[in-house]
Amino acid sequence: MRIGISCYPTVGGSGAVATELGKALAKRGHEVHFIVTDVPFRLGTFVEHVYIHQMDTVTYPVLRTPPYDFSLAALMAKVIDEHQLDVLHAHYALPFAVCAHLAQEMAHHPAKVVTTLHGTDVTVLAQDTSLKQVIKLGIERSDAVTAVSESLIGQTRELFETNKPIRCVYNFIDPDVFQPQCGQSVRKSLARPGERVLLHISNFRPVKRIQDVIDVFARVQTQVAARLVMVGEGPEYNEARNQVERLRLGDKVDFLGRQDEVAPLVAAADLLLLPSSKESFGLVALEAMACQIPVIGTFAGGIPEVVLHGQTGFLSPIGDVEEMAAHAVRLLTDGALYRRFAEASRRRAVEHFHIADKVAEYEQLYREVCSQ
Binding site for ligand GMT (CB under 6 A): 8, 12-14, 17, 118-120, 123, 148, 171, 203, 205, 207, 278-283
Minimum Å distance from CB 82 to ligand GMT? Answer: 28
| Cα separation, 1 vs 215, whole angstroms | 49
Output the DSSP codes for 292-355.
Answer: T--EEEE--TTHHHHS-BTTTEEEE-TT-HHHHHHHHHHHHH-HHHHHHHHHHHHHHHHHHSBH
Q: Given the complex with ligand GMT, which of 17 and 197 has the nearer CB atom?
A: 17
Task: Choose between 17 and 220: whose C-beta lies nearer to ligand GMT.
Answer: 17
57 contacts: CB under 8 Å, gap ≥ 6: 37, 66, 68, 71
Is the Cβ of residue 215 or residue 236 nearer to ligand GMT in the bound state? 236
- Nearer Cβ to ligand GMT, position 56 or 261? 261
Half-sphere CA count of 37, side-chain side, radius 13 A: 16
| Rounded-to-integer distance, Cα 53 and Cα 4, Å | 10
Cβ at position 140, least distance to ligand GMT in Å: 21
Q: How far is the CB of 14 from ligand GMT (least distance, A)?
A: 3
Task: Name the residue nearer to ligand GMT (CB basis): 93 or 191.
Answer: 93
Report in angstroms how near the CB of residue 318 gets to ligand GMT at its nearest. Answer: 13
Between vectors from CA 7 to CA 60 and to CA 136, what angle results, nearest 5°? 90
Cα separations in angstroms, 44 against 19, 50, 267 = 10, 11, 20
Query: Please, what is the minimum distance in Å from the beta carbon of residue 243 to ligand GMT?
Result: 20
